[in-house]
Amino acid sequence: MEKTSFFVPSISCNKCCDKIRSSLSHMNGVENVDVDMVSKTVNVNFNEKQLAASSIKNKVSSMGYEIQ
């Protein structure tokens, strides 16, 4: 199990958090997603044999969020 964290400065509301959490949760290999609106971070536990951290980052970016 691998863990990665990203700073997503464009998170502005609970709807953003829910959208990101839901989208990432449906990716094969993702075990757990935590989105924090206050710190604007996305923390993901995932199986590195099924998924790369870059794929998670690309998914968030494709939803229109700036991600660092």
What's 48's domain CATH number? 3.30.70.100
Closest by CA to 26, choosing from 46, 8, 4, 9, is 46
Tens of pLDDT, residue by residue over 8-61, are 999 999 999 999 999 999 999 999 999 999 999 999 999 999 999 999 999 999
Residues 7, 48, 61, 31, CA torsion sign: negative
Q: Is residue 42 part of a domain?
A: yes
Cβ count near 8 (within 10 Å): 24
pLDDT of residue 36: 97
Domain extent for 52: 2-62
Question: Does the pTM of the predicted model rise above 0.75?
Answer: yes
pLDDT of residue 18: 97
How many domains does the structure of the chain reveal?
1
Read off the DSSP letter of residue 13: S
